[in-house]
Structure 1
């Protein structure tokens, strides 16, 4: 093992970087997709009700989206806390 490169620390940095760098944006995208899922068709369209809807009417999609957004916000808060606390 080279004294210049700590392989144990390197793989930890790569894994955390992949999770935070690709995992959190992917989870955010899944949350956006879940929130936009259509629900039951009640016979009205978006133009009849006054414009485009941002949120879908599927309660399960809204719940899944809320969970995804909560996890992303918790990860952001944990990262800010870690930087401020110096750990």
Structure 2
């Protein structure tokens, strides 16, 4: 122990916090992005002042490709696995 702070333990906590606290939500967001379909954005219709916006037909959402679906399932599976592992870790007493 160096002084009052154990620097190696602090570094481990920071790395674990970044991986769990930012990595798991980022992986979930990536899975949502993969499921969302194509990255093309439709052009916004021009708005005239004072009149409601008119649509010309139904909104069509493209189905993502099979590769994107597999990637999304891998992302979601990893997130569910991490949450399950965390619950098992906590239920076991919170220590290894």
TM over 0.5: yes
Q: Which has the higher helix share?
A: 1
Alignment check: 8 A CA contact 1:31 1:66 kept? yes
**Higher Rg:** 2
Q: Report the TM-score, using the length of structure 2 for normalisation.
A: 0.69
Partner residue, 1:42: none
Count of matched residue pairs: 75
Unaligned regions of 5+ residues in structure 2, if any? 39-56
Measured on the aligned residues, the alpha-carbon RMSD in Å equals 2.0
CA–CA separation in structure 1 for the residues paired with 2:63 and 2:28? 16
Runs of 4+ in 1 over 2 A off after TM superposition: none
Q: Report the TM-score, using the length of structure 1 for normalisation.
A: 0.75
Could you say which structure has the greater relative contact order, defined with CA pairs below 8 angstroms and 6 or more residues apart? Answer: 2
CA–CA separation in structure 1 for the residues paired with 2:13 and 2:60? 43
Give 1:61-72 correspondences, 5 Å limit. Answer: 61-72=68-79
